[in-house]
Structure formats: structure tokens, C-alpha cells
Structure 1
Amino acid sequence: MRASRARPVTLIGVLIATVSLLAGCGLVSSSGTFHDARLPDGARPLDGAELTVTSKSFTEGVLLGKITATYLAAAGAEVADLTGAPGSASSRQAQLNGDADILWEYTGTGWVTYHNQTETISDPQELWQRVHDIEKSENGLEWLPPANFNDTYAFGASMPTAERLRVKSLSDVAALPVAERTFCVDDEFFSRSDGFVPMLQKYGIPYNDPNGVPAGNVTRMDAGVVYTATAEGQPCNFGMIYTTDGRVKNLNLVVLADDRKFFLPYSGTAVVREEVIERYPQLRELLGTISQRLTDDLMQELNGRVDIDGEDPADVAYDWLRSEGLVAAPG
């Protein structure tokens, strides 16, 4: 998870079977956790390579790991699947220890959680470059160019609410009458030093201020309940969401633009151990082929297939790769 964020995990029983922790030696994979496939042209640019792919345990992390494992194995690599590592520390530590080679990370996580930086860098490319440089020099990790999705904090509204109030951005929310500035947030986001209260300050509507956002306008609830409350427009017009969560599309929520650039970018990025990418430079092109196709809308769709429809992440990963013409059935 990123910066202690809680994320939905609906397939815990399946994922726990995927990864085990062994004292003293980290993670071990179980077999058969992703689909066999081949590249459509039959090429095997990674023939002879042995790679270990890990991921964090929340849905999006597992999906990215399954996509990567399936695609690289189709390209000829022998892939050990360590996706679904509990928490964020075990997958990160496995890569730092050399027990895992490839892990999808987030630029905001690298900046805030791993390197304790407090400066807010709103430009996604600049933040990626800063994280890339620190990680390469300090940890021997290569953060490849980021994908086209940003799984960060945001505020959403139901379509009827957004249309009724004519809001498209957080500045539009700040311009509303005080009575309409009602919010649903979870306790963790409310209390964060880069969360709700400083966000309101940034937009000129300070918390617990009769001319800003009175305390009575804010309802604190479990993160999962925020989505349904926001969709229903009760007890709040606006709810804290994650931009690539499957419920955004499923509940037809409108994501409001953070036009004053308060929230740190969390661009998804494939991270490879430096010695591994030097040995297999083909990984740059192969992982770039995946990255350039990943968008906020696509991740909402794929996450929703797991969290809402109950599909297996390995199936969703394989189906998407086939739909993009990146892999074909074996044989």
C-alpha cells in the first residue's frame, strides 16, 4: 500500500495461497498462478532469462504483477510469481534483498514513504525523475518511465450532484455556498499531514470555520462506505476516493480536478533491479509496452472486474493482454 493507505482486498484467501513468508529467507512462490501464453509472432526475446515478479497485496498491485508475469513468461522468461505479498514492506524488502527482480511501485510512495520527503512536487514527470535518481543511487533500483495512470487521492461526486452544483474541480467546490460544502472522509485521510485539513486550507475553505467548512459539514466513516455515501449524495456531496478504484466507474462517480495541484502524483511505475535490467535490457521495451497502455480508466475497469465482479486477477490479466494483442494462447 502507499503511505499507509487502506485498499480493498476481496480475494484474500486466493492471494494468501499465492505467497508465503519463510523466516530468514523471505518469499516463496507457488506454481500455476498466471496463465501460460506466447507472443503472437512466436518471438522469445527473454529466452533463458530467470525473473522473479512480486507485488503488494491490494488488487491493483496484484493485477499489475500478474500482467507482468504473464507477459514476460510469454516472451520466453522463466518467471517465479511472488505476487500478493502481504503489506508493502515484504515486497519492497524482497526486491531490496535481491529475492525479487520486478515490482510495480508508485512515485508518491517512493518519495514520501521510502525517502521521507515532505516537498510536494505536483509535476508527475519531475517527481518520477527525482525518485528515479534517488532509488538508482541509493538502492540500485531502476524506476522505468511511468505508466499513464495516477492512483492518487481525489474527491468525487455523483453525476446528479456534479450536474446540480455545476462542479468539475475542487475550486468549483470552494466557490459553492457553505451549506453545499459537505464531505465524507475516512479517519486516516482526515488525520494525514497531507490530507483533508491542509487540502481545505489550500483551496481557501479552512476546516472548522463558519465561512469555510464547518465541522458539522464533515462526516467521518469507513473508507469503503465513502463511495456509496458519495454515490447516494447523502450525507455528503463530495467523498474522498482513489482515482483508479473500480468503484469510480461502477458507481458512475465524477472525479473532480485537483486544479490547485495539492495531491502528490502516484504514477504507477515498473521497478527493476539495476543488475537485472543490465543483464536483460529487453525489459525496457517489454515493460514499456505495458506501461504506455495503462490509463486511469483502464485501471478502474480492471480493478472493478476483481473487486466488484469477483474475477481472478490472473484471468483478468490474461484477458486484457489478449485483448490488446500482446499475447496469444499457447500452442
Structure 2
Amino acid sequence: MHSRLIRSVAATAVLLGAAACSSSGSGSDPLAGSSASGGSGRTVVVGSANFPENVLLASIYSQALQAKGVKVQEKFNIGSREVLYGQLQNGSLTVLPEYNGALLGYLDAKNTASGTTAVNAALQAKLPASLGILDSAAAEDKDSLTVSQENAAKYNLKSIADLSAQASGFTVGGPPEFKSRREQQFKDAYGLTFKEWKPTGDATADSLKSNAVQVGNVFTTDPKILLLKLVTLTDPKNVFSSQNVTPLVNKAGLDATATGALNAVSAKLDTAGLTALMKRVSVDKEDPSAVAKDWLKTNGLS
């Protein structure tokens, strides 16, 4: 399962792509039967986990809601999914930026759903009646197979499937556990047998640029994809589960105005855009709130 489990160690995600699933709604109205009035007096509490990308997304949500006249309280940098999920259930939080595949893994570790639509349908079946998901963004923070721009051009690589003619001569870089988790999956889905699997950890992106490895496991919103001009390969067989940015909400805390504001954010947010925002936050050290404000203005949501 994807390692973007909302976690308590912020540094892991500081340096988190063209890969993106099409935006998909939750499949039903998550606020059906709700009489909440987020825009007419009730305060919507927007929370976040304690890593930079989630804080940025929560700030985007918060400011988008405020732009529609919704009263908002921000509770950022709270902690791990275990803590956050409980606070959503008891109503202490109203909205949280989630990653649909990782959330499904938390609720049902054995579920094998992979595409955005299938993952969201499975989530709907697993969430308690008090909680719901809104529309998923195309933006995903997920595992990927990524290559250098030079190798992408040289070997005409756009999809993982395109590696079939080159895999036997390519070395793959990633975390130490990457081979045990993924080797058989790549064989089964794409018929790939790589020359070597090398543990490169946090140096994977740099190893791709230097050609020490030819293929690497890089998160799709890692700013180094932009800095080093790397190319994320698409994954048509869905070896990597969908990890679309998706608002998880306490249904009783939102009205149609608030729901519309959050869905409008999802409609505009894609992986390449989120990666560019994360470069500003984690590399350029800009304030997440200011970066969020700029993005909302650029996209006509402020």
C-alpha cells in the first residue's frame, strides 16, 4: 500500500508529476440529509496532518471556504491519521485533506481497489454514516516510476509499459523495501524484469539525474521532479493505487456553499500544479498560506 499514510514525522514529507487520474466525485451526495449551514453561522473547522503538503492543502481549503463567506477555524499540524480520523468522527474537525488510497488502506488494509472511481466507491462503503468524501482532485501524491528527461527522450518513455524493451538493462532505485513490495507486481502487470534493484532512499531523484539508476521510485509531488526535470511514467495498469487528494468531511458540519467551494478546489488541482506549489513551500521556503492564496487567485477561487 502507498506509504502516504498521514504520518507524524514531518521531515519525511518535506521533499516530496505529470501522472494523474481524472477527477472523480464521491459517487453520491455526502451531505444528503444534512441541515448544516456552513455559510450562515456555523464554523467549519479545517484540520491538517503535520507535514507541509497537508498544511498547504488545508490552507487552500480554508481560504476557498472563507472566499465564499464560510466561517472557518484552522487547526493545522495536528498529527497522524489515527488522531485526525477520530477528531473528524467526534466533530472536532469538519474538513481534512486526505489521500483516497491511503485512507482506504487505513480503513480496510486488504482492499485491492486501485483506480480513483473504484477506490472512492470502496471508501463510501467503509466510512461511517457521519463521514463522507467530496470530489477527488486529479492531483495525486503517490508512488511512481520516474526517469530522467534524457532517458525518457532517448528511449521514448511515457508509460511504465514502455519500459518493456529496456527493463533488462535498467537499474531501479528506491527505498530498501521497494523490491520486495513491487518486483512481482511489475512482472505480473507489465512483464518487466529489471537488471538490478538498488536501495537509493532519499537520493533516488539525484541518482536518476546522474544515471546511477535509470528508473526510480519518486513521489509524484516531489519538487525534485521539477528541479531535476524528471519524467513520471504513467501507470495504466494501476500497480500504484490511486492517491487523489480528497476532502474527508464530517457531514453535519457543511452546507451546499461549503461543499461547492471544496469541490471547486478539487476541479482545479492537478499533480503538476501541486508539485509546483510544493516547490515553493519546501524548496523556496515560502509561507503555505501565501502560496495557497496565490493559487486560489490564479484559479479564480478567491
TM over 0.5: yes
Q: 2:4 corresponds to which residue?
A: 2
CA distance in 2, matches of 1:177, 1:150: 25
SS at match of 2:69: coil
Q: 1:257 corresponds to which residue?
A: 234
CA distance in 2, matches of 1:320, 1:213: 40
Q: 1:213 corresponds to which residue?
A: 194
Q: 1:126 corresponds to which residue?
A: 118
The 5 A counterparts of 1:18-57 are 46-57=39-50
Structure 1 residue 238 corresponds to structure 2 residue 245: no
2:58 to 40, 43, 65: 65
Q: 1:191-226 CA deviation, whole Å, 9 max, x = no partner?
A: 44xx34433443223xxxxxx334xx221022x211
TM-fit CA distance, 1:125: 1.4
Cα root mean square deviation, aligned: 2.3
After superposition, the Cα gap between the structure-2 partners of 1:3 and 1:196, relative to the gap in structure 1 and judged at 3 Å, is farther
Higher relative contact order (Cα pairs below 8 Å, separated by 6+ residues): 2
SS at match of 2:246: strand
SS at match of 1:239: strand
Q: 1:30 corresponds to which residue?
A: none
Instruction: Count how many residue pairs are aligned between Structure 1 and Structure 2.
Output: 276
TM-fit CA distance, 1:4: 7.1
TM-fit CA distance, 1:154: 0.8
TM-score (structure 2 length as normaliser): 0.83
CA distance in 1, matches of 2:104, 2:228: 31
CA distance in 1, matches of 2:295, 2:167: 44
The 5 A counterparts of 1:255-294 are 255-277=232-254, 280-294=255-269
CA distance in 2, matches of 1:4, 1:175: 37
TM-score (structure 1 length as normaliser): 0.76
CA distance in 2, matches of 1:318, 1:196: 42
SS at match of 1:275: helix
Preserved CA contact (<8 Å) 2:100 2:119: yes
Structure 1 residue 97 corresponds to structure 2 residue 90: yes
Identity of aligned residues (%): 25
The 5 A counterparts of 1:192-203 are 192=181, 195-203=182-190
Structure 2 letter corresponding to 1:61 = N
**Larger CA Rg, structure 1 vs 2:** 1
1:171 to 152, 161, 165: 161
Q: 1:154 corresponds to which residue?
A: 144
1:189 to 152, 156, 178: 178
After superposition, the Cα gap between the structure-2 partners of 1:4 and 1:269, relative to the gap in structure 1 and judged at 3 Å, is closer
Greater CA drift, 259-268 or 309-318: 259-268
Q: 2:299 corresponds to which residue?
A: 324
After superposition, the Cα gap between the structure-2 partners of 1:177 and 1:186, relative to the gap in structure 1 and judged at 3 Å, is closer
CA distance in 2, matches of 1:166, 1:92: 43
